[in-house]
Amino acid sequence: MHKTTDKADWGVVVGRATGILVLLAGILFAAGLCNASPSDDNPIPSIFQPHSTPAESIYHLSVFVLAITAVIFLVVFSLLAYAVVKFRNKAAGAEREPAQVYGSTQIELAWTIIPILIVVVLFLATARVIHAIQDAPKPATAVEVTAIGHQFWWEFRYPALGIVTANELHVPVSSLTHPAPTFLKLLSADTDHSFWVPQLAGKTDLIPNRVNEMWIDPHQRGIYLGQCAQYCGTQHAKMLLRVSVDTPEDFESWVRDQKRTADQDTKEIAGRRVFETTACINCHAVGGTAATGRFGPDLTHLMSRSTIASGAAENTSENLRLWIENPDAIKPGSLMPAMKLSDANLDALLRYLETLR
């Protein structure tokens, strides 16, 4: 009888231990997937692949915290497993209460001092990273950008360069020999938003009537994806952004192109007339024209962007036509009104917008 009971006890112990091991394996597998290199045609932003000093600092701090918590888990799990196996219930002593231990000074000191030391270490490590990021000096070579969050798109202004664009932020690559960090002033035009590009920096909120700041210094050129990380309304999930990290030469070329006024193709005068005589002019701006709206993105160089609707769709003729004709088909609740244009006026307007490069 006792042997049967012991076998049942061991079966429960082995079953629970197996379940815990399977759970641990699942966690490690998920972490491996997060850390895996994404394919070039499907770039998934990952905090485990930092390409900027703030992101690297956060990454190293995260690894340090995870290492400490992993050690704590292993110690607690080992002690728990030992207690379960060593002091498991036995039929022979079912009626007898196990020996009780009270007032162990050593144990009480251990479970008081050790957690305090762990918290102090984590606090100091975190404070060091926060200080290094928030109090970093701004060099003379820094690029200054004002980022404004709208429902549901991003406005980027370069005060020193006289450039206004939307949803796609262009910054130069930075290196130790030629540092060119980008300092962002974060504002909100309506409700709370949060600027987050995982591979470049941590999250920073955009709050109405408050100015927040952050900075990035990308070390590798390329496209980095991010989005609003604070629920801000119906289309929060599609309030995307793209950071294009360019070589110094490409960035200077982009700046020159953005400073130019919109191309005025006389062959598309009919489309421009449609733009200037409809509600488009109330929300959008086009340099060199009477359009000076501020509620929607600046369209002066619309076709130089690879996406529309704040990254919700590729910037193609088909998507642009659909966006004008029926915005809800791409981004329901986006606050972009359907223009209700005739086919002729829609064709003319589309041809005009495609000249804005």
Report pLDDT digits (tens) over 294-337.
888 999 999 999 999 999 999 999 999 999 999 999 999 888 88
Does pLDDT of 10 surpass 70? no
pLDDT at 38: 45
DSSP state of 159: T
Question: For the chain, what is the mean pLDDT?
Answer: 86
pLDDT of 37 higher than 50: no
Let me know: does 275 contact 231? Beta carbons within 8 Å.
no
Question: How many angstroms separate the CA atoms of 51 and 224, rounded?
Answer: 9
Task: Name 46's Cβ contacts closer than 8 Å, sequence gap at least 6.
Answer: 34, 35, 38, 198, 199
pLDDT given at position 31 = 58
**pLDDT tens digits for range 123-147:** 999 999 999 999 999 998 899 999 9
Compute the average pLDDT of residues 193-209: 95
pLDDT digit string (tens) for 237-295? 999 999 999 999 999 999 999 988 776 666 778 888 888 888 888 889 888 788 888 88
Quote the pTM value.
Answer: 0.81
CA distance 314 to 42: 14
pLDDT computed for residue 334 by the predictor: 86
Q: Which residues contact 11 (CB under 8 A, 6 or more apart)?
A: none
Residue 72: count of CB within 10 angstroms of its CB: 13
Tell me how many degrees the CA angle 48-49-53 measures, rounded to the nearest 5.
105
Is residue 5 predicted with pLDDT exceeding 70?
no
**Segment (H or E) for 69:** helix 53-86
Residue 291 makes CB contacts below 8 A (sequence gap 6+) with: 275, 276, 280, 281, 284, 285, 299
pLDDT of residue 39: 42
pLDDT number for residue 208: 95
Distance CA 342, CA 352 (A): 15
Q: Which of 251, 210, 202, 255 is nearest to 229 (CA)?
A: 202
- Higher-pLDDT residue of 241 and 98 is 241
Q: What is the mean pLDDT of residues 216-232?
A: 93
CA distance 292 to 328: 25
Minimum mean pLDDT range among 36-45, 193-202, 284-293: 36-45
Q: Could you please report the per-residue DSSP string of 169-212? A: EEEE---SSS---EEEEEEESSS-EEEE-TTT---EEE-TT--E
What CA–CA distance (Å, rounded) separates 266 from 1?
99
Mean pLDDT to the nearest integer, 38-52: 71
Assess whether pLDDT exceeds 70 at residue 235: yes
Q: Per-residue pLDDT tens for 145-188?
A: 999 999 999 999 999 999 999 999 999 999 888 899 999 999 99
